[in-house]
Chain A
């Protein structure tokens, strides 16, 4: 069973195990495998950005206005080559994209993690207790899901002001409801299973039943949703920054880089927004491909 596959993954012995079987199933799909490799490479680039980029584009003393709007491959005043050109502030586009990716990934990963934590706790609690607790939590979820995510995020940022922390908060607040609803649905099924009854007969404390017995068995759909939601968070962050309500302009994320170059597109200076755009596309596409394939593997109903 796939549930068991995941819980036992951490202690996989070097023989045929559910995890190994899962891994070989996953890599059997070449597209998903390539996408996963791309994600790993992008993540490594983002994590080690200060060591792989020629310039820190967030440090105003390292960029020079005299190097602005250079074509890809042009040389700077000091003889450095900008392989992907520079933007209007003289930032090296390659460095700016890697740092922008780092910002985008960081913001969405942190926001998604917190949202998972909050959403899962509330969802499981709602399912386990039922009754009034369930009604209150799920009505809040319904209310939240009835508004478009971008609208809520825009209103929040308009009220809170700008800043990385505020973007994370906004993304978290628009996402938790998805996890709460998914986990609740799953937990409602699981809590009627015999192992929960057994745990209850042993008079285990409630938190232990919820978090040690109920929750681990609700994980598979959650993993799929979280993967796809990271991609959503990245594109939502990009949208907010593109609209100018996200990260500060001196620390651009991918969305802000695209927005900076957008007005030059018709003037033939494509590189300022096309390259970050491609980077954003590649990131979101890869995550979605991996997420889709995970869904296929983890959903028994989709298995032939």
Chain B
């Protein structure tokens, strides 16, 4: 079927003029090799990078994230906070879904209503709608989103909620938003119907083919309101094996791949037909501690105490690790040593902050002062298939920690086992990664360093129970400060407090890589998304 399409297409292109015949085969079509496959075409089904990056091409949002994750106008032309608890969005006029319906405020209400209604969602987008108390439709092109408390992150939060057409879904007229449960809709759209391409979006592309495990094909939306993308047709194939993905690029099966493995970079760089871009990501790799247990698992000969409760021990561990060596030796230079949870210049970071330099003598001195002149036994838990070279990074860190006299060991396991064990606090110290989907500091501080508390939503990924009152207070204040500059200063200060306490030890930021045929261009995205609409031509 595919070859038939190409055969039909070749004469058509040839008819356009002689010069086209001479141009390379990928002239109008872009073939992409993906590291991971989206689990559905439904943009509200699974809050996972492969799903979200795909959905951005078809289902637009009120705002879009630029390459630094700052909110940009998309379906909303502009927005402003009209009082502490209300955000007003002016919608773009004259935008049409590829199915033909016109985009209006009713689609916004319907889409926000549908998010909690997705059946069997493995990871829901509700976290992005739960702060919205009510949606007031002022006129067909103006909506107001109200919140119970000041919510400064609204513009970037709505960039995660995809807009679908209420008309296509057969929504009743005058549907009103209700945070808990929108009523009056007899049947909500099924994920399966999205996979059958029954619903359309307003984005630069529309789906044309979906074969799970094999390919997703898209065609350019010729009526797109914004800048039209370069490629008329895009085919994306999941090639999960890194070596196979590189082989597909080298052989010309695909034009563009995400995440080429670090060990193949010299080979790609040396190839005159290939090009590459890299960009700092928002994913930090860090060491986290178990503060809760008196005898944390994996810690031995520590005199029956929890050594991590002693700040001197944490500082010694931080000082023993040579972050630059990990970056250059294990990450092939393709990573950046980290001083806090997010890299500059993202919002809420400390400008000019430097990763700590290793100081073995001081580390030994601190350990002796803390009562461990001969160290203690320490097993570091790590996944071995989640982050770039994760188990190798942990081994290298163990090697460096061992030089202080601490008998370091590594327990590596597959990610599902690792995350289950981490939640059950079966580690004393572990390595993990965190990427802030809002691209600013409050997200990371809240999840990793906030005192765990379901009421505040703090510490959702802080199973070791790190707790710092001063940091919590400042963060709480920052989260309700609407003024960007003020908030970011507070966040930077809160981050400083957590880092000076060595509560969590950041190691490095991953750098995301994309490799492609010479002649293409790509703008590296901090959120690690592979977006066909950002692939250009030189």
Chain A residues packing against B (C-beta within 8 Å): 60-61, 63-66, 68-69, 88-90, 162, 244, 248-250, 263-264, 266-269
Contacts and interface: CB of A to CB of B under 8 A. Distances in A.
A304 to B, nearest CB: 51
Nearest to B264: A267
Contact of A269 (B263, B396, B409): B263
Given A244-B413, A266-B247, 14 more contacts: A61-B403, A64-B399, A66-B325, A89-B396, A244-B384, A248-B411, A249-B384, A249-B395, A250-B410, A263-B242, A263-B243, A263-B263, A266-B243, A267-B264
Nearest to B384: A244
Contacts of B391: 249
**Count class of interface residues, chain B:** 20 to 34
Interface in B321-336: 322, 325-326, 329-330
A248 B410 contact: yes
Contacts, number: 64
B246 interface: yes
B127 interface: no
B399 A63 contact: yes
B412 interface: yes
A267 B268 CA distance: 10
A250 B263 contact: no
A162 B408 CA distance: 17
Contacts of A69: 329
B80 to A, nearest CB: 51
Given A60-B399, A266-B264, A65 B243 contact: no
Grouping DSSP codes into helix (H, G, I), strand (E, B) and loop, the B interface class, with mixed when no group exceeds half, is: helix
A68 B329 contact: yes
The 10 closest A-B pairs by CB, nearest first: A60-B402, A267-B263, A60-B399, A65-B396, A249-B412, A65-B329, A61-B402, A250-B410, A266-B243, A264-B263
Interface string B29-57: 00000000000000000000000000000
Interface in B346-397: 384, 391-392, 395-396
A244 to B, nearest CB: 6
Contact of A244 (B322, B410, B414): B414
Nearest to A69: B329
A267 B413 CA distance: 25
Nearest to A163: B411
Given A68-B329, A162-B411, A263-B242, A250 B395 contact: yes
20 contacts: A60-B399, A60-B408, A65-B326, A65-B396, A66-B329, A68-B329, A69-B329, A89-B395, A244-B413, A244-B414, A248-B409, A248-B410, A249-B391, A249-B395, A249-B412, A250-B395, A250-B398, A263-B242, A266-B243, A266-B264
Contacts of B396: 65, 89
B261 interface: yes
The winner among B242, B325, B392, B400 for most chain A CB atoms within 10 A is B392
A146 B392 CA distance: 38
Contacts of A263: 242-243, 261, 263
B11 to A, nearest CB: 39
A65 to B, nearest CB: 5
Nearest to A158: B417
Nearest to A264: B263
A142 B396 CA distance: 46
A89 B389 CA distance: 12
B333 to A, nearest CB: 13
A167 to B, nearest CB: 15
Interface in B292-331: 322, 325-326, 329-330
A263 B261 CA distance: 9
Interface in B240-265: 242-243, 246-247, 261, 263-264
Given A88-B330, A249-B395, A249-B410, A65 B263 contact: no
A250 to B, nearest CB: 5
B94 interface: no
Contacts of B408: 60
A273 to B, nearest CB: 12
